[in-house]
Amino acid sequence: MEYRREIDGLRAVAVVPVVLFHAGVETVGGGFAGVDVFFVISGFLITSLILHERAAGAFTLAGFYERRARRILPALLLVILVCVPFAYLWMLPEELGSFNASLLGALLSGSNFVFYFQSGYFDQAAELKPLLHTWSLGVEEQFYILFPLLFLFLLARGRTLTIATLAGLIAASFFLAQLGGNLEPRQAATAGGWSWWATPSYGFFLLPTRAWELLLGSLLAVMQFQRGEWFELRRQWLTRELASLTGLGLMLYAFVAFDEATPFPSVYTLVPTIGAALVIAFARQGTLVYRLLASRPFVATGLISYSLYLWHHPLFAFARIWSPDALGTPVFLALAVVAVLLAALTWWVIERPFRNRAAIRLPLLIGSAAGASALLVAFFVAGVTTKGFAYRFDTDEFVPKTGRLVANHHCRRDKSEAWNNACVYGDGEPRVAIIGDSHARSIVKPLAAALSTKGLAVVDMHVAGCLPVRNFLRANTGDRCRRQDDAFDYLLRTETIDTVVIVARWATKFENSRFNNLEGGIEFGSDTQLYPDLARIGRSITIEEALAAVVQELAGARKKVVLVYPIPEVGWDVPPYMAKLKRLGMLDGDISTSYVVFLERNRRVIEALDAIPDALVASRVHPKSLFCNTVRQGRCMASIGLKALYSDTNHLNGYGASFVAETIASQISPAALQTQSGAAAGKAKGAGGE
């Protein structure tokens, strides 16, 4: 094959935005799309390699797989080996368990499956997973295993069938990607509803919905190999210039205009992938794009792009794991420079020799890979048997013992089953329902324990990540939040439920941002993006309107409504944060955050809750009175002494939730339920209720 300098330059265009995105550079909010550019390049190059070697009579499957192993394994194994001691020294047992799983996944070319199964609402933040970026290697490696077998079969049956099959597979894979939440394998089929604005984790991580990007490069390689004259356009220099410039512009647009809320892969992914294909096809000698990409800085960066991709994310992740407080972008940019130096060294010392069959013979390649893998497997086994080397940290010292929270737990539903089969906590009569998001989930068991003495049980109607209102959806989750609409319908028609407790993390939805306590505690994760369900209501509404409407509905249906005001957020992941402080000799007392910051963060939320007429609300519970200005004036407590009140950055643990639960329970009297709910309904009529 002819060496094409501009493709190495294109690798630089792909890897630099990925690094800047992970470093937190806000102007490159779509830098993750660089991975999609890599997919197109990989598909093009391996297909071109097969075509040229086959034409020369030199292609063998064994040679192909050996070349892939030489390209991928040595640098990958080196980076993982270097990660191991830092994981052992700095990661908490639970974190190390996740790391161990990704380590084994990377060795078996299946880390994308590991991260797919790990992904979830309460999963460890992506920023703290040192090997998260190896998901893309898993996708490529699985493609490399399967594609040559299919491609050789197709080539033996003619050019027309080959092109038609590749085009069909591209269409099918793209269709799966765009389907979004409708085909989420972990969700019951009956729960799906059509949504173009949805990206389940299977779409992001797994080969069936990523294959079209690699196959796009493959189809381009076939067309260029068999119809090379179509791409020469020697007399149409303007077309070549415009096509290659358009391709570069599309990629740059994706890097700058997209962000974490953009569904990927989806129709949006066409922007960087078509851009990459245009550059590969038309950025030939003489064009402006060729001269840019073939320049020394771009080619040099492209040559080390694989090692740079491998090194940058572990450096960033371990820096976050080590530091108790959030690190600024300048720190990560400095680490990016370190990653470049490590990448250059790795390319020179590891990549180049191992890709040279004369320098490193196959037996040495196999032996060194087997030896490194054996060490990593031994670490994995030791980590499993010791439960993440739990002897290193006494994490339980920060987690109070709460004892038995509920007398019984009747749970007969999954996330898609009808609400009449909702989980019931406690042995008493299920006359109290709690509805909300994950903040409601954190309270339900302590609330059931507190109400059990009154002979009452609690019906759990939370939907993680969704506000307890009607007609609002959350980006990238399909129609999941419509379950809240169904929950309210169920409450309105169920007479046996007298009391409805409404609990939610309102601030993230009102402000569309994660919490920053302005003291170094910045919550990881994507911003929450909510929008009105226009398909159902046909007009735009506000969260305030939606909240007031459901409270009025409930009160009008003779329900006693208990409004729980915001639970203070922390910003720090409390138990690990305390463990880090202890490790560094900096833990000298309780953990707390600013009350002023809490008030400012929740100003709009509190105003919206206060605006709901008293006639519609049986009682209001203010967690701030339990956690703020109690132990310390002007502070909201995240721990009492060395006992954490939270399980992470914002969810109360059983100990912390018990304070809120007991306050709620104190305002619920079984004997007065019917009387109070009837009075509330009467007040609601006077206030304009039904």
Give the tens place of pLDDT for each residue, 302-339.
Answer: 999 999 999 999 999 999 999 999 899 999 999 999 99
Angle of the 329-346 helix axis to the 61-90 helix axis, nearest 10: 140
Alpha helices in 470-588 (DSSP H): 482-493, 506-511, 534-537, 543-556, 574-583
Q: Which domains does the chain have, with CATH numbers?
A: 5-387 (no CATH), 403-569+596-626+653-686 (3.40.50)
Query: Using CA atoms, how far apart are residues 302 and 7, in angstroms rounded to an integer?
Result: 8
Identify the three-state secondary structure at position 128.
helix
As a whole number, mean pLDDT of residues 433-453 equals 93
Local structure of residue 25 (DSSP, 8 states): -
* Residue 567, both tokens: 């639970």
Mean pLDDT of all residues belonging to the chain: 88
Give 482's pLDDT tier (boundaries 50, 70, 90). confident
Q: pLDDT tens digit string along 378-392?
A: 999 999 999 999 888
**More confident call, 681 vs 146:** 146
pLDDT at 121: 53
pLDDT at 265: 87
* Residue 402, both tokens: 């709460």
Give 192's pLDDT tier (boundaries 50, 70, 90). very low
**Which value, in Å, is the radius of gyration of the alpha carbons in the chain?**
28
Local structure of residue 350 (DSSP, 8 states): I
Q: Which residues pair with 594 in a beta bridge?
A: 635
Q: pLDDT tens digit string along 156-191?
A: 999 899 999 999 999 999 988 877 544 444 333 333
Give 551's pLDDT tier (boundaries 50, 70, 90). very high
Using CB atoms within 10 A of its CB, is residue 414 exposed (0-12), middle (13-18) or buried (19+)? exposed
**More confident call, 234 vs 167:** 167
pLDDT at 526: 73
Is the preceding omega at residue 265 within 30 degrees of 0, hence cis? Answer: yes
pLDDT at 625: 96
As a whole number, mean pLDDT of residues 646-663 equals 94
pLDDT at 404: 55
Residue 201 pLDDT exceeds 70: no
pLDDT-above-90 percentage for the chain:
70
- Amino acid code (one letter) for 309: Y
Phi first, then psi, for residue 507 (nearest 5°) are -60, -40
Which of 366-375, 511-520, 617-626 is predicted least confidently?
511-520
pLDDT at 194: 44
pLDDT-above-70 percentage for the chain:
88
Which one, of 349, 230, 261, 314, lies nearest residue 32 by Cα?
261
Residue 676 pLDDT exceeds 50: no
Q: What is the pTM of this model?
A: 0.87
